[in-house]
Structures are given as C-alpha cells and as structure tokens.
Structure 1
Amino acid sequence: MSIRNPLNFILLFTVYSTIAFAAGYKQADTAMFTDQGDRVLLNNGIVSAVINKSSAHMMSYRYRGIEVLKDGYYSMDGGKSYAQPGHCEVSVKVNTPNLVDVMFKSRWQPGLRQQAFDIECHYVIEKGTAGIYCYALLTHEARYPQGRIGEWRYVWKLPDGVFDHINVDLLRNMDMPSADDYRNAERTTIPEAIKLKNGIKAGQYECKYNYSAAYYDIGTWGHTSNKNKIGAWMVLGGYDFLNDGPTQADLNAAAGINHLHFARNHYAGSVTSVATGEKWSKIFGPFLLFVNSSNDVPNALWADAQKRVAEEKAKWPYTWLTGVEEYPNSAHRGVLAGTFKINDPYKPDVKGANAWIGLTTPEVDWENDSKNYQYWVKTDNEGKFTIANVRPGQYTLHAYASGAVGEFEKQGINISSGETKQINTLTWVIPRDKGKLMWEIGIPNRTAIEFKFGNQYWHPFMWETYSPALPNPLIYNVGSSDWRKDWNYVQSAYWNNDGTLSQWPWKINFNLDKLPSVGGEATLTFAFASLDRARLVTFINDDITPFDTFLPTLKTGGNALIRQGIHAKYSTYVLKIPVSKLHRGNNSITLVSNSGKNRTDHIMYDYISMEIPQ
C-alpha cells in the first residue's frame, strides 16, 4: 500500500487502531478494568459492569452477586427516528488504581441515524463506590446538517423477578405487580396504559406515566427488593444539563425500568435544534447508577439513596472529570449569592422563602430551553440563596415562588471564572393597582395539586373517577365552597355513566356588596398549570353570548391529563371586565374549556382571582 502523505498515514493508523480496539484489540488490564475483546469489564469489588464496545450497551451489572440489569443504554427519539449509539470507537480516558473512565464514541454519518450529532458515552467506576457513573456528550460539527433531538435519555432496564417495590415520592412508594401480572393485563384505549387482572393491583390501571415527576423535586428514583434486600437507583448530583427548568416533569422509574431523560420532552418539553453550519456541544451528567442494601426495605434503602443525592451534590462538579471543555472544574466556575424578597401588600406572609432562583441564557425562554445550561436553587426561609458552580457568562436571573403569580426577572448578570458575586437584595414588588382583591381560587404555585383529586392525578383514566363525584355543571360559591373539595384539578370533558363525553361548564358564583361609582374594569387573573388543545370561553352573569374567548398559542400542549401529570407548561392570562357587566349582589362567571368531544383537551388551573376598583 502506498502512502504519499505521511499525515494521512498517521490519521489512517489512528482510525485503524481505534477500530481495532473496538473490535477486540486487547488493552492492558488493571485492577478495575479488563478488556474482554468485544466488551469491557469494570469491577471495583462492590459492583461489576460489562459494556459492549460497539453499541455502548451495558450488558451486565452485578451487585452482591445479583444481576441488577437486563439492559442499559443511551437512546434518542422514537418510532422511525429512534436511534442508539453504534459503531463506537472506544478508548480508556482514565485508568488509575482509584478510577477508570471508558469512552464509547459514535460519530454521526449519513445513514447511521437521523440525528446529526456525535454521541460520546462514558462509563466510570470508582474505587469504593457502590455504583457506576455515566455521562455523555453530544457534538454537532459545523459541517453537519441540521440536528434535532426530542427524546434523549439513559435507560436502565431491570431483570424480571429481582425488584418488587418502586420509590419515586410520597405518593408513588409502593409494591409493584409482578412481570406475570403485566403480561396478563388487558390493553386499554390509551396505548401505554393497561388494566391489571391479577396480583396486588388487580382491577387497577397501570402506565409508565403513573410515576412521572419533576427531577429537581426528587433527586433520586428507583426500585427495591423485599426478597433480595437491595435497591437500584438513579442519583443526580448536578442538574444544570436538564432542560426547561425545575418545573419540567418526565418519566423516571416505572415497571421494570429506571429512566433518566436529559431532554425531558414529555409534557410539552422543548426539543434541541442546532442549525446547519453551527458548532455546538453539551455534556449530560455525570449521574450515578447507585445500588445499596439493607434489611429495612424500602425505607432505609430510600433514605440512603436520598442521602447519596446530598453527597453527590456536595461533590459537584466532580474533581475526577477533567480535560473536558464542556465541564469546567470548580475553580473555573462562578458563584452568585444574595437575598430575594417579595413585597405583596395583599399577602404579607409571602416573603420570598423557598422560592426558586435561576440563572438562564438571556433572551431565551427558560421553560423551553434544552440547548443551554441552567442553574437553579431554592432560597432558604429568609430568602437567602447561593447559586454555585455556574459556567462563566452572561445570564438573566429568574425567580418565582408559591403565593405569587408570574415571575421576577433581572437581566445582565455576569458571572466570571472563579468569582463569588454578592448582589444586593432583590425585591419583587407585586403590583396591586387593579383594586381590591375580591376573591381567589387556589394557590399560585404552578400546579393543580391542591384541588379536588389533585393527589390522585397520577392514575390513568381519572375522568372515570372525578366525573361521577362532581356535578355537571360544576358550581363554586365564593365564600362557602372550598377549592380543595369543590374545584377539580382539571377541567376536561365530562365522562357520563354510559361512557359518552359531554361539555363540562364551571360556574363561579360571587356577591358584590357594592360597585365602584366611577366605573372602570374588574380584573380576572388566570394562572394555568396546563393548557392542552383547549380554549377558555368566559360568560358573565348567565349571558348566552360569550364575553371572551381565549385561544392560547403559547405554553400549550403536553398531554398532561392523558399522561397523568399535574402540570405541563405555566402561563397566565388577564381578562378585563367592564364593571357595567357586573351587578350589585349576586354575580356569576362561567368557564367552558372544550367541546366535550374528546379526552385530551383540558385546562388545569393553577389560580384564579378577581380584583375590582373601589
């Protein structure tokens, strides 16, 4: 073979040697790393993992002599666009007595997958750690065509018969049906949902969306085994790579599986889109596939996993992950600290405690951003906050809190490498220039969980439960009704006893002792936890002609009712009503959200209030 250009020879040799390693070239074995030809073995004496070189699939994961994995892999999208890494180049990034980091890189090429990104997957084993760390990088080279990703996740499939209990949060902490129970279940009209005929949940519906949650709220999720006295958990130490902020929910644990969705695209999550000619890269993780053991199942195991979250947060960013531009160490990140306060003349108890504070990319909607990093923390009881480990750059600060509609924003926050920036107290003054607060329904907290059946939202086919329990039309009397009992968590079509659907108007009755002598406008403020293919039609005082029809075009979708969510995207709407449309004494406002012809269209109200000038 003739090589005219020595550089070409070097490049060719590099490619061939890398491919040879991927196909079976033997790397030097060490205490925690063994090259097994077409796979590698990681073993620290506590856990062991076998990873296929070509696909980056984890083929085996053992703990205390028990196989805790059926399959483990990265994947993108679904249907005809479904893709996994393939034809990986493999190299050992780090191989020391204390840590091994093995890279599996799948370079994009036409015909390999639709998503024009290089996928670089890493598996890391550390001495003394009961788990395997994972992280991945996506790279879009400038020469690539447009790249677009919806779903992007790590999937840890569990073996049948090993685990029997699921732990997500206080609502989803329960023994699970067996694999046979699932196999013998009935299909339903919702493709992902089944109805169990046997076992501990016989007669109940089951679906992977039963367990969806906001990752920021839980930090860890997984399964435990009453028989084997072990647990298998996803554990997050960092969250900056996640899309769409702390409210975004997605799949996590479900029957026989642990998910980690980096691009949480369910519930109207954003997609990652990179233009032709644009160079872009982002790191996802590291996260920990954590395992533990205890005779106290599941409580001690769950508590231990939650403790591990705190430990991993304290280690972030990990000192062992070096030489990756997308993951600067702590010395090359910055810190923002300050105090956040809320000043609301009508609600003096809302002061800024336990508020969410975040730094996000300027001029980008943080609720629809999967392309950039975000940094969010909660304030303490005094409103103090510290946002640590922020990559240097220009940011916009956002804040929101339970009890306040909308959010606070401050632009032009510059974070420098190695800087700890202390900013002056941030005060969000809630404008109260619309008159007296006459009444309100709910708590402005970006969720509908406080309403009737709100703690059961995660069950499939909930309209079969709430419709028979509530009247049509729903009547809410300000002053005597209780929104926790009389206001449903979702306004959808009404399910009738014969299985048909009909429209479900909701009527709010209220009394006005007097009207302003100078006229003016009443202000009806709506905060929505979810809007999906719905319109909001408002009628005043039994007028048969709609006073207003709101057709939302932003922050909609997500299928939160069918996918058993308690919120999707947050939005608000302010409706001005001439005082002349109201009466002294009894008044009513009727809300209609859909045609009543399907199960998907709905509104989940977060909060409604009326203010009237005096």
Structure 2
Amino acid sequence: MNFTNHFLLFMLQFILVLGCAANPGVQLEIQDKYVVLDNGIVQVTIANPEGYVTGIQYNGVDNLLEVISNETDRGYWDMVWDEGGNKTTAKGKKGKGRFERMETTNLEVVVENEEQVELSFTRIWNASLEGKIAPLNIDKRFILLRGSSGFYTYAIYEHLKEWPAFDLDNTRIVFKLRKDKFHYMVVADNRRRFMPLPDDREEGRGQILDYPEAVLLVNPVEPEFKGEVDDKYEYSIESRNNRVHGWISTNSFEPTGFWLITPSPEFRSAGPLKQYMASHVGPYSLSVFHSTHYSGLDLIMKFGPNEPWKKVFGPMFIYLNSLSNGENPITLWKDAKKQLVDEAESWPYTFPASKELLSSKQRGKVQGRLLVQDRYIKDASIPVSGGYVGLASPGNAGSWQRESKGYQFWTTTDDKGYFSIINIRPGNYNLYSWVIGYIGDYKYGSIINITSGSNINVGELVYEPPRDGPTLWEIGIPDRTAAEFYVPDPNPKYINKLYVNHPDKFRQYGLWERYADLYPKEDLVYTVGLSDFRKDWFFAQVSRKKENNTYQATTWKINFNLDHVDTIGTYKLRVALASIHYADLQVRINNAEANPPLFSSGQIGSDNAIARHGIHGLYWLFNIEVQGNLLVKGNNTLFLTQPINTSPFQGILYDYIRLEGPSMDQTYG
C-alpha cells in the first residue's frame, strides 16, 4: 500500500473517530423509579413504569421542564373520557367528562442499541377496571436516536370488541416548561411574542372574565402586560397549519428552543380546518390529536359495547435547538421550520419498532384532477387551483369534518387542478373535496380501497356545486369562515397587543359585546347594492347585551330590490354558516312576524367558536326554497332571526348568503 493510500485510510479512521465522539451512541439506564435515555445531546428521564416525562436535559440546563411542578405535571399524555351513553344536561350540553393522565403499569425495552432506544410503556385493561379508567389498552412509546437533537413519542390506543361502551372527548400530549426560562412563544410567523407568566393569571394579579380561560391582567409581575387579556384560545391553530410551534428561552447563556413538530396530521380528527389548542401561557406546549373544541358534541368519539378500534397517534418530534450568545433568538424558530421540512420528508418514519406504523411501501396513493362546473358562471368545466382533496372514512359529503375514529389524508390541487395524495394507510375511504369560492361539498361516488402499494388514478372529477338559478345577489365569500366580514376593534379594556393591527384581529377577546356598542337599539340592516359586507356586516349575529346583563334576541334585515318576479317560479336561498352555537336560524321574507317562519334550523351547533375567537367552527349549508309569490317587484326584505338569548355566546357566524332566481329550465322550459 502506497503512502497516499495509507494517508487516506488514516484520515477516514480519524473522521470516524471524531464522528463517534461528536455523536456517541444512545445510552439507556433503568432505575427503580425512572428510566433515562441519553445520546450526548439530549437526556430524557421518564417515570418507571407510569410513563411520565419528568426531565429533559439539554444545552447545559438540567431540566427544561417545570421543576417546581409535581413530576406527573411536566410531560404527559392525557385524555378526557366518559362511560358510554352519558346523559347530557337539559340544554343538551355534555358534562366535563373524566380526566385521566393515562398512567401505565409496565415498561418494556423494545429496541436498545447504539443507534436507537425505543421504550414501550403499557397499560392493559380488564373488567376489574370498569368505571375507573377508560376501557382502552394503552401503549406509549418514546424513541431516542443517535445524533438527534430531540426525541419522538407516539401511542397506540386499542378498544377490544367485547369491552364496554365509552366516549372519548379529548386526547393529547402536554409539556409544561420552566417559567423562569421560557418567555417567548411562537405559533406562526406572525403570531409570536413575549408572554405573561402563569403567576399573572392568579387571584390578585388576574381577573377572570366571562369564562375561566380568559383573564384580565390587572397586576402582572411585568408591568408591560398590565391591561392585557390572556386567553389560551387566542393561540389556537387550524390543523393544516398546526405543524410546529413552541417556546424560546432567551434569558439563558445560550438561547434555547423547545418545539413540538407534527410531521403528518393524518391521525388528527376532523380534517384540515379543525382548530386545536397549541402553545400558551404556562408555559405549555401541546400536541392535540382529538378534541371537541370548535366542534362540540358532534365530535365526541362514541364507541359501542362491541366496537373494536385501534389507532396510532403520532409520532411527534420534540425538537430542541440552541444558539450562541448574541445571535437573534428568532433564528431558532426559522431552524425549527426547517426541521419540520426534514421530518415531513422522512414521513412515514422507518425507525419506530411497532408494526402499527406502516412504511411507505405498505401504503397507497391516489391521484387525479379536480374541475368545477357552474353553468351560471361558465359552461365549461374549469380546473380548480388550491382546492382541498382528501380521503377519510366513508360517509356523506362533508362528513369528514365530524369524523374522528379513522385517519385522514389531504392535499391541495395545483394550478391545473391535479392532485396526488400519498402515503395512505390501507383501508376503505371516500374521496372528499371543497373549493374556496364555491359552496357545498364534493364526494366521489365510489369507495376507494387502498391496499399496500396501490396507485389509484381516479381521472378527472367534476364538482358541480349547488346551483338552481342565476345569482340575484350575494353576501360574503364562500370560504367557510366569517373573516371577510366586519370585525370590530376590541374594547380598549380587553386588548391582546399581538393582534392590534393584525390580520387575525378576530382573535381579540370580547368582540361579541361590541355588537351592542355598535347596534345599541336597532339591529343590523344590510341593503344589497349599497352596503359593503366588509364594512356593514358584523362578523357574528349574537344577542344584544342589555344594561341589566340580560340578552335580547336579534333580527338582521337584508333589503333587496327585484326588477321582475316570477310569482309561480321557485327561487333558492343558499345560507352557508361558518359556525352556529346553541342557536336557531330563522328565515322570513317580507313579514317579520310570519309564524311559522319560512325556515328554522332549530337549536343546533355547539362549537363555541364565537367565545373562542375561532372565526369558524363546523360548516353548515342550508338550501331554502322560496316560492315566487312571497316576493314582490321592487323592495323586499329578508329577515334573519336568532331568537335564543340566554347567553352572550349563542349565535351565528355566516359564511355566505346567495339568492338565486328560478332556473332557466324552470322559467323557459
């Protein structure tokens, strides 16, 4: 061997030695009450056998989690559940349910080598536990890899066929960080700020407002927060955007970031628009997989007494990063976003040991093209750009937003309408879609059966949105939110400084009370052709608050002019709602006292989006026939009444309203 080859061999061995020193193998230490995973970068301590994360050591900090909290309150999986058939209250509301931290009873080392350690913390249910804990087998997993600046966690829930019925309201993973270190929170590029302390919410420093989650900071530790409202709901995120969020510690020698990364939302309930809690004052960081927030009773998972079920939640990646002193801490957020890209490109992961986490080869693919045809806009079908296309459990069109037991897989179409949905778990699905700019929901006619390695091309799909006749007038934009309507400035007493001059100004607290300020005696009147929905249509139809703290039902008026009326024809009123909460939408035309009304939804909805600053909850579409003899040539008035007035939060968020004339076939046929 010549000198050059000797030198190259020496350098290779030297590099390998340096690499091993920089990235030592993963070490596992099992103690009586704890188990410790350590890869030289991060050290994770977990209670044995309960499965709580009690400590995370990183960047010279002995524990990033709140050391003054009980060990069970630092890093944990939890759920809210109840026995099946639990009765609701007289108002139809369900009780709070039973909170459970999913404490496990057994530890198994599934993988242990220098490259990876994977631990399984399990709890096996049996009949002696009935009524005490949820009837589920639980398997919580934790993984640490060599060279990884963070760790992974996932869980497998299983309900066997012979087990009792139960309801599952919420489930998630929670991390409570050290309040003396983590003060800067980021949930999006334009939603980041220094946050108050949890102490500021306590009695004497904070004043509870209309519900316990909303607190006015009257005497905070840091005077800069005085007069602000802190409310965790102000930081909710839609599932489609809820991929990475967390906290930055800026008061340590080297700024440190703690981030929750969700590489795929496939295991979350209710599709891409479902809103979930994220990071908020605590400092807390959550990854929520299933909840009734912004959907209410419609999204409680109800399991029958003989219903088998199994689902994998995760894995999620808990990512840690740091900077040298003097660098801009927001660089940590930019790095976390890059890490999300890396994690998403690696999905589905190949390293977890459970067979329930299927590889890419075990999954399938669906592709096709989406077009839309509305003959009153254009005769030809046109490609849909940015349309949402997804696979979810079989059901009716739009049922995906109330679906929670299965997996969902979504994508958006390109500018020519083409789409490709990859890495779909085997099973039977319907293909669903909706398109901004058009009302309603699309559902592909056939069940799609995904098998391992399948590649299905559904060809060209044409969505024909609900339409009977030409548009006589319309209000709003069919986008499933009320964001385009008039959102008032908040009461100066109840400000969150983050949302001042912000595109998400609807996240300010107390906006429902502004309706009474703007309309103290008379309700909203909108005149088609003169009014502008961006300025003249209040974003929420709520009750009017009176001086004696009672609430008054409201009736909104839409005035419109018709040059011609087909008295024997049938018109169609389309009313799309972005949310409705324990309310009743009543519609009348040209007679405010008509009884019964032309249409009544009855009391429906429980998503509470108005109180939770959500601008939308569940989507509803009502298609109301209007006989021509109810209309007159000239001036007409449409009355929208919400008569239920026992709470400030009972109300309606409209998405879009359209009156269609009789169809051409009906008129001229």
TM-score scaled by length of structure 2: 0.82
Cα deviation for residue 597 of structure 1 reads: 3.4
Match among 486, 489, 501 for residue 539 of structure 2:
489
State the partner residue of 2:40. 45
SS of the counterpart of 1:423? Answer: strand
Question: C-alpha deviations, 1:317-347, integer Å up to 9, x for none?
Answer: 10102442x2221111111111111122344
Matched residues in 2 for 1:159 and 1:36: separation?
25
Instruction: Name the aligned partner's letter for residue 110 of structure 2.
Output: K
Aligned to 1:10: none
Shift of 1:553: 6.5
The residue that corresponds to 2:424 in the other structure is 390
Residue number in structure 2 paired with 1:32? 27
**Structure 1 residue 440: deviation in Å?**
1.0
- Cα deviations across residues 423-444 of structure 1 (Å, max 9, x unaligned)? 2111112354x22201111111
**What's the CA shift for 1:486?**
1.3
Q: Is the 8 A contact 1:360 1:375 kept in 2?
A: yes
* Shift in CA distance, 56/300, structure 1 to aligned 2, threshold 3 Å: same
- 2:661 equivalent in structure 1: 612
**Secondary structure at the counterpart of residue 241 of structure 2:** helix
- Residue 18 (structure 1) aligns with: none
One of 291, 298, 304 as aligned partner of 1:264: 291
Partner residue, 1:306: 337
Q: What CA RMSD, in Å, does the superposition of the two structures yield over aligned residues?
A: 2.3
CA drift at 1:245: 1.2
Deviation at 1:381, TM superposition (A): 2.2
Q: Deviations over 1:202-247 (max 9, x none)?
A: 2232212111121222311222233342222211111211111111
> CA contact under 8 A between 1:344 and 1:350: conserved in structure 2?
no
Code of the aligned partner of 1:575? I
Contact 2:234–2:507 under 8 Å retained in 1:
yes
2:476 aligned with 1:426, yes or no? no
1:289 aligned to 2:289?
A: no
The Cα shift of 1:87 comes to 4.4
- The answer as to 2:513 corresponding to 1:464 is yes
Question: Residue 498 of structure 1: CA displacement?
Answer: 6.3
Could you tell me which residue of structure 2 aligns to residue 74 of structure 1?
77
- 1:12 corresponds in structure 2 to none
1:332 to 362, 373, 382: 362
The reply on whether 1:345 has 2:375 as its aligned counterpart is yes
Q: CA deviation at 1:605?
A: 0.7
- The answer as to whether partners of 2:374 and 2:465 remain within 8 angstroms in 1 is yes
User: Deviation of residue 593 (structure 1)?
Assistant: 1.4
Task: Please name the residue that 2:209 is paired with.
Answer: 188
Query: Structure 2: how far apart are the matches of 1:234 and 1:335?
Result: 28
Aligned AA for 1:271?
Answer: I
1:494 and 1:126 mapped to 2: Cα distance?
57
How much has 1:150 moved relative to structure 2? 1.0
The code of the aligned residue for 1:75 comes to D
Q: Which amino acid aligns with 2:317?
A: L
Determine what percentage of the aligned residue pairs are the same residue: 31
Q: How does 1:139-538 map to 2 (within 5 A)?
A: 139-169=158-188, 172-183=191-202, 184-197=205-218, 198=220, 199-228=223-252, 229-255=255-281, 256-268=283-295, 270-294=299-323, 299-324=330-355, 326-347=356-377, 351-363=383-395, 365-410=399-444, 411-432=446-467, 434-453=468-487, 455-470=504-519, 472-496=522-546, 499-516=549-566, 519-538=568-587
1:559-578 aligned at under 5 Å gives the runs 559-578=608-627
TM-score (norm: length of structure 1):
0.89
The match for 1:579 is: 628
CA distance in 2, matches of 1:343, 1:598: 42
Moved more, 63-72 or 168-177: 168-177
Q: How far did 1:267 drift?
A: 1.8
Describe the superposition over 1:89-135 as per-residue Cα deviations: whole angstroms up to 9, x where unpaired: 10111112222111110222434833100111011111222211110
* Aligned partner letter, 2:474: E
- Residue 50 of structure 2 aligns to a residue whose secondary structure is coil
- Look up the match of 2:112: 95
Q: CA deviation at 1:390?
A: 0.9
1:519 and 1:285 mapped to 2: Cα distance?
58
Call closer, same or farther: CA 1:488–1:129 in 2, change over 3 Å: farther
Does structure 1 residue 84 correspond to structure 2 residue 101?
A: yes
SS at match of 1:468: helix
| Alpha-carbon shift at residue 394 of structure 1 (Å) | 2.2
Pick closer, same or farther for the CA change 1:300–1:497 going to 2, 3 Å. farther
The 1:484–1:299 alpha-carbon spacing in structure 2 relative to 1, beyond 3 Å, is farther
Q: CA offset at residue 297 of structure 1?
A: 5.0
Tell me how far apart the structure 1 counterparts of residues 541 and 147 of structure 2 sit (CA, whole Å).
Answer: 52
Q: What's the secondary structure of 1:216's corresponding residue?
A: coil
Instruction: Output the CA distance in 1 between the equivalents of 2:138 and 2:191.
Output: 33
1:352 shift after superposition: 1.5
- Letter of the 1:551 partner, please give it: S
Deviations 1:458-487 (A, max 9, x none): 233222334323563111121121111111
Greater shift in the superposed pair: 561-570 or 178-187: 178-187
Name the CA shift for 1:304/1:87 in 2 (closer, same or farther; >3 Å): closer
Q: How far apart are the structure 2 equivalents of 1:441 and 1:271?
A: 33
Distance 1:55 1:336 in 2: 41
- In structure 2, the residue corresponding to 1:467 is in which secondary structure? helix
More off after superposition, 253-262 vs 415-424: 415-424
SS of match in other structure, 2:200: helix
